[in-house]
Every structure is written in C-alpha cells, then in structure tokens.
Amino acid sequence: MENGLESTGDSRLDQAVTQWLQYDKNPKTAAAVRTMVKDRAMSELQKCFGACMEFGTAGLRAAMGPGVSCMNDLTIIQTTQGFCVYLEQCFTDLKQRGVVIGFDARAHPPSGGSSKRFACLAASVLISRGVPVYLFSDITPTPYVPFTVSHLGLCAGVMVTASHNPKQDNGYKVYWANGAQIIPPHDKGIAAAIEQNLEPWPKSWDTDGALQSSLLNDPYQDIHREYCQTIQQHCFHRELNKNTKVKVVHTSVHGVGHIFVQAAFKAFDLQPPYAVEEQKDPDPEFPTVKYPNPEEGEGVLTLSFALADKEGATVILANDPDADRLAIAEKQESGQWRVFSGNELGALLGWWIFQCWKQQKEDGKASIKDVYMLSSTVSSKILRAIAVKEGFHFEETLTGFKWMGNRAKELLDQGKTVLFAFEEAIGYMCSPAVLDKDGVSAAAIAGEFVSYLASKNRTLSHQLRSIYEEYGYHISKNSYFICHDQDTIKRLFERLRNYDGKNSYPKECGGFAITAVRDLTTGYDSNQPDNKAVLPTSKSSQMITFTFANGGVATMRTSGTEPKIKYYTELCAAPGNSDLNQLKTELDNLVDAIVEHFYQPEKNNLTPRPEKCRSNLVPHEHASCLFHFCTFTFFSPQFCNLQCYRMKNILYESFFHLPFLTYSSEL
C-alpha cells in the first residue's frame, strides 16, 4: 500500500485508505487512520471505511471521526462540493443569491471536528466557486437557517447539527430555495454530484482565505433582530403577558437555545423564564444528561423540576440542543409533574393558534375556507377532528417536516393560510416564516398561551381535557424495537404483505378487525378506489398503516437514521366518549396484539426499546423515580420490560391514590 503503510490484506480497504490519505489534510484524522493500519485494527478500519455515508433528504448524520463512514473535514468538503455543483446546475443566479450556513456547538476533539469547523469548511468550498455565503458568526438554532433562506431569498441553506443525537454525532442538514428541507429528487441529484466530486478542489481547505473573502457575510445580528420582529406577529395578548404571574423554567439541555428563547420571550413582553443554570450554556459533552433529548421526558428534566420547585414555577419548557423541538411539563394540583407528549402538545398548540386566528378573523380579513393545518401521518389525528368541527382544512403528509414544510409552501403560494403543523416527536411549526419545526417561536407562543390560561384560572391540563371532551379523545402509544439485521426487517414486513397468501394483508390482528391498509413502500392503499396511495411512496423504507374497526390506527415503519422498527398507535373516540379506563384498556390490548402477531419479537430476535415505559406523570417528591415492575421498589425513571406499562397504571392508583389520567405519552 502507498504512504509507506503495510497492506491490510483487503484490497478494497487498502484502496479506500490510500485515497483517504491522499485527500485528507486534517492531521488528527489522517494520523488516526495510519495508526489503525499500523496496529491492524481491522474492526475499526471497517467501521470507518466499510460504507460511505448516504446523502438523503435528511442530509447526513453520523459519528465524528476518520473515514468515509464518519463526519469529518474531508467528508464535509466532499459533500459541499457535490452540493455546490448541484446548485450550479439548478440556479443560474447562484452567484448573485448565495447560501446560508449555520452551526450548533458540537465538537469532537479527538478528530479535530466541530460544527463550527465544518461550517467554515463548507463556506470555503462555496466561496472558492464564487458563491456568496452567509455564515453565522456564532451558534444559532436550526430554525434560523430556513428563516434566513426565505427572508433573504437565498438559493439554499446548510445547518451543521446532529440535533438531539448522542454527543459523538454530527450532521449536515440542507434547505432548498423555498425555505423547506430538501425532498426527492434533490437528494439523489446531490448524492450523485458528491460521488463525482470526491477529490478536494484546490481552495476547498483554505478556510483562512474564505474568512477574509468579500463573498463572506455575517447575518447573525440582522437575522436575530428580524426573526424576533417576525414572530411578534403571533403575539396577541401583550398586555396580559406584561402582567402575568406565571413562572416558567426553561432548559436548553446544553444546546444553543438559551439566549434565543430569552429573546423570544422579550419579544412577547413575557417575563424571562428561569434558566437551568447547569444546562443553559452550550456544552458538547452534555454532562448532566444521558441523552440530550427532551423526548426522554423526566430523565432530562430532573434539574428543571428542582429549579421549578425552588422558584415556585408551574411550567417547564425544554428545547433540544439545536432548539427546533420543544417539550413542556406542567405541575399538577397533586404536586406531580406532567410531561406532555408530542401529540398532546400538538392538540394544545393547534387549538390555541386556531383560537388566536379566530380573534384576528373578526376583522374580516380571512376566510376559514383558506385555512390549513398539517401533521405527519404517524402523528395524532386530533387536528383532523378539530378541522371537521371548525371548518378549516386538515392534511397529513409523510413522516418528517421536510414533507410538511414543502406542502406548507405550496399552500402559501396558492394564497392559503397555513396556521400550524406538527409531528409527534415534539416538533411544531407555529409560523410560516419558518417552514420547519421551530422550538424558539413555539416556546414564546406556549408562554403566552400559559399566561392566557392562568388569567382564566385554567392550566394546560384543564385545557387539554376540554379539547378532548369537545373533539373526542385521541390516546396514543408509540414505541419501537431495535433490529440490526436488515434481512429480518425485510422478512417481517414481507410477511405482512403476504399474510394469508401472496399479496394479501392481514384482515385481523388478535381479534381486532382491520378495515383498511396503506402501504407506502409498495404504494397500496385499500381506501382508494384504484388501491393506489395518494401520499408519496418510497421503496427504500418500510411503512404500513392499519386502520381498525374500533377506531384504532397503527403504523409500523423503519427509521431512516437508526436500527429501529417503530410503531405508532392511536385510538380515536367520538366526542362524548369519556370512559378513559375503557379506552386505555382497548389500546393496551390492541398494542399487545400488534406486538405479538405482527412484530413477533422473540421469533425475530427484536430488542425492546431501552428506557421505555415512561410515565408522563411524575410525582413531585419522586421526580426521578418510578416503580420497578418486578420488585415494586423505587429505582429509576424507566420500567424493565415491554409488558410493565400496564402495571404502571395500577401502581400509580394504588400507591399514590391518584388516577393515571393521561395515556398518550410515548412508551
């Protein structure tokens, strides 16, 4: 092998390593590769060079480190070169309009990689081709990038972030000229261009020269100011905000959100939220949490609970590290903390934003026939129920804000009003100024919502119950199994497509009759006259939705970024059906049947979700502990196995003498 290194014994690996060392100018990653070859660390070499990262609609996301499988200086340069070439093919005015680049606070000292370093390299590549670059001079929330694309009329945007992934990961997220994440065919076009531009261009590594270029612009101050002014369009109770007595705690979970949520609250004339001191400043080590993901509920919010109790706050707002998601918890009269699920927050924020729109509507400026709300197909259908009664339009899209953002843009271009969009993974688009999930504006809007409710002596929990009583209860249960074997995953889904013979889907599941099937992998939809799905299909991922005669809906799908087979289930009841215990039991039984008959975890060697079965009611004095199903002792925020979630209800009611009223938190 060249470079004075001995052969690994694998010619393909030798070729990949040789090319890498020819291209890589980062001394840390180059040295790491040489050391692996010298030590014959074949397992590590296979991890780093076994397969190239695949560029998709979500861009890139992987661990930072050396090699084609990881996020590093060279793969960032190669990706940006391909992206730049594709932009040149698509936009004749690219050199007049330009591209925006933002970054979070992630860093990986062993490889010399960081979000800021990657952003500077991406800027260097684009500037070397004469493309103006709007590079934020400091960390920013992800929503600022699509906002900048739309606000300045740019051709594209790049955000360097891995959102709420583990600390060693990073990502490269791409926005198109319409301000939304890319969708097909752009992902394939960019991926092809990357493959054709792997050798670094002469000036791609020249970050010093790029940072001195007249093509480099810093939009930080202007965009921050414009964003805060823009979201004020969604502030409707300014005087009430000024005088509210509600105390709110906010945590940015060691991410970028602190200063931006503080600014958003100020833009709404809300009192600044109490910041969790240990978590307010960016820290790529995420030292106080196991996973920097507010979806994990109480485990991430332990410090927030403590601060809220100390300050007498009744509401907690939590952003993920790049501040595009928002979790909310509320203290109950019993002293417990309730962590709302993404579907519950979708119901609350959707209802509130519609009420605010109706207040505006009194001016006679808008027609309800032109109003739309959106959600992803795996999220709660509560917005559909509200839309049916109130008269506006509801649409569902494929999973992910890339689909909702692009559909929202289409509707806006038709002169429609898109009030709100959400996904169950605590993502909310509360303003069309950002065609993606935005945890900053959502936090400010939630702050005003809480203040308004307090002026009426009501809480979020009270309002959620009222919504369900008026529009029908929608209770959901979502979880996943881990499976690293792609063949097993394929067999599992193919079995469902050939359940009672070739090309026949199940007609029942454990006694629950199935009334409709939609398969967005094959394009089949039994609800359509021609049996062809209306939503876009993709053979590269698995996704089947079953509708049951009892009003239940269950979607099984693979994750695009993790070795997971997810399920999303919801039971929708008609208004007036408020027998929660009966509804919970019905959903319990349905989920049990799906797991037993469709997933067959033992037969398929599937691993249940770790740290699952999280309650969304956390006792005040036991905020970080729940019952262990097997020993009935306090020990952790999780339960030990898939079946124990049922015991959760019994234990809460028997020990705390409190009904477990909510049942839509993710397992």
Residue 560 burial (CB < 10 Å; 0-12/13-18/19+)?
middle
d(CA 406, CA 427): 15
| SS3 state at 643 | helix
Q: What length does the chain have?
A: 667
Tokens for 607, please give them.
């691993």
| Cβ pair 174, 57 in contact under 8 A | no
Ranges of H-type helices in 27-93: 27-38, 42-49, 73-90
| Cβ pair 218, 137 in contact under 8 A | yes
| SS3 state at 427 | strand
Tokens for 531, please give them.
């049996």
d(CA 71, CA 432): 32
Q: Which of 554, 410, 579 is nearest to 476 (CA)?
A: 554
DSSP characters over 453-504: HHHTT--HHHHHHHHHHHH--EEEEEEEEE---HHHHHHHHHHHHBTTSTTB
Hey, what long-range contacts does 519-526 have (CB within 8 A, 24 or more apart)?
519/543, 519/544, 519/545, 520/377, 520/398, 520/544, 520/545, 521/493, 522/497
Active site amino acids: 163
Give CA separation, 610 vs 28, 167, 318, 511, 606, in Å. Answer: 34, 18, 22, 29, 12
Output helix, strand, coil percentages for the chain, rounded to the nearest 5.
Answer: 40, 20, 40
d(CA 593, CA 196): 49
Q: How would you classify the pairing of strands 169-175 and 60-63?
A: antiparallel
| Cβ pair 357, 366 in contact under 8 A | yes
- Largest Cα–Cα separation, the chain: 77
Residue 507 burial (CB < 10 Å; 0-12/13-18/19+)?
exposed
Beta strands in 202-263 (DSSP E): 216-217, 248-251
| Cβ pair 421, 393 in contact under 8 A | no
Q: Which of 594, 434, 443 is nearest to 510 (CA)?
A: 594
Tracing tokens 């919504």 back to the chain, one arrives at 467
Tracing tokens 């300050």 back to the chain, one arrives at 311
d(CA 174, CA 82): 12
- Sorted by sequence, the CB contacts under 8 Å of residue 331 that are 6+ apart come out as 308, 313, 314, 315, 337, 338, 620
Phi, psi at 624, each rounded to 5°: -115, 20
Tokens for 400, please give them.
């992910």
Phi, psi at 375, each rounded to 5°: -150, 160
Phi, psi at 134, each rounded to 5°: -105, 90
